[in-house]
Amino acid sequence: MTRPRLALYQPDIPQNAGAILRLAACLSVAVDVVEPCGFLWDEKRMRRAGMDYVGLVDVTRHTSWDTFRESSRQQGRRLVLLTTKASERLDRFTFSPDDIIMVGRESAGVPDAVADAADGRVRIPLAPAARSLNVALAAAIAMAEALRQLDDFPREVSP
């Protein structure tokens, strides 16, 4: 069964990458990491940032934007970019099971070429005085909306 995935474009803050890995573990979604990262990606750092959840996540690391894009195309996946520059609101976008929801770097977002290559660009509506959310929070909101639309949250075991 195809499920949405999360993608991190050249993440530069290990704590946010760890929080996103924990999110992915809790929601049973896979993660793509488009390198290079702005920090050394190693098990010790990721375990510290993502706690013991890191081992529960299917992570695919891509050496570059080009290798990631080729892989996603071969899998028939649609790239949905979260960006403050998008005209389409997250709550008005229709998600598909084959979507990859991408977040950019905290420091710089994504280059124009990456944004232009996205199949969809969405923004989370914010209060007028606010500029942006933390990337891990934005990823959580977007993935929750996608899973809600698709009725694809993890099935819980009754307490």
For residue 67, give its domain range: 5-150
Predicted pLDDT at 14: 87
Q: Residue 56 is part of a domain; what is its CATH number?
A: 3.40.1280.10
Distance CA(93)–CA(99), nearest Å, equals 12
- Alpha carbon distance 3, 78 (integer Å): 12
Give 54-112 as a 3 state SS string.
HHHCCEEEECCHHHHHHHHHHCCCEEEEECCCCCEEHHHCCCCCCEEEEECECCCECCH
> 3 to each of 30, 49, 75, 76, how far by Cα in Å?
8, 25, 12, 12
Looking at residue 44, what is its pLDDT?
Answer: 66
Is residue 158 a part of any domain in this protein?
no
What is the spatial distance between Cα 41 and Cα 20, in angstroms, rounded to a whole number?
14
Residue 157 resides in a domain: no
Residue 32 lies in a domain: yes
Structure tokens at 95: 């998600």
Asked whether residue 49 is assigned to any structural domain, the reply reads: yes
- Domain tally, the chain: 1
**Predicted confidence pLDDT, tens digits, the chain (159 residues):** 799 999 999 999 988 998 999 999 999 999 999 999 988 777 666 665 556 777 889 999 999 999 999 999 999 999 999 999 999 999 999 999 999 999 999 989 999 999 999 999 999 999 999 989 999 999 999 999 999 999 999 998 876
Position 96: which residue type?
S
CB 95 within 8 A of CB 145: yes
- Domain annotation covers residue 80: yes
Determine the pLDDT at residue 47: 61
Q: What is the DSSP letter of 31?
A: E
Do the domain assignments include residue 124?
Answer: yes
